[in-house]
Amino acid sequence: MFRYLPPATRALILTNIGVFLLQFLTRGLFDGLFALQPLGPQFEPWQLVTYAFLHGSFAHVFFNMFALFMFGPELERTWGTRRFTVVYFASVLTAALAQLVTTALSGSTESTLGASGGVFGLLLAFALYFPRRKLFVIPIPVPIPAWLFVTGYALLELFLGVTHTEAGVAHFAHLGGMLGAALVMLYWRLQAGAR
| pLDDT of the residue at 165 | 82
Q: How far apart are CA 148 and CA 16, in angstroms?
A: 29
**Contact at 8 Å (CB) between 146 and 132?**
yes
Q: How many domains does the chain have?
A: 1
Neighbours of 38 (CB within 10 A): 18
The CATH number of the domain where 24 resides is what?
1.20.1540.10
| pLDDT of the residue at 1 | 63
**Contact at 8 Å (CB) between 95 and 149?**
no
Flag whether the pTM goes above 0.75: yes
Angle among Cα 63, 65, 69 to the nearest 5 degrees reads 115
Integer angstrom CA distances of residue 154 from 40, 60, 65, 131, 171: 29, 19, 19, 15, 9
Boundaries of domain holding 63: 2-194
Q: How far apart are CA 67 and CA 89, in angstroms?
A: 16
State which amino acid sits at residue 151.
Answer: T
Q: Tell me how long the chain is.
A: 195
Instruction: List the pLDDT tens digit at each of the 195 positions of the chain.
Output: 667 899 999 999 999 999 999 999 998 888 989 999 999 999 999 999 999 999 999 999 999 999 999 999 999 999 999 999 999 999 999 999 999 999 999 988 999 999 999 999 999 999 999 999 999 887 788 899 999 999 999 999 999 999 988 878 999 999 999 999 999 999 999 988 776
- Helix ranges, 107-145 (H): 116-129
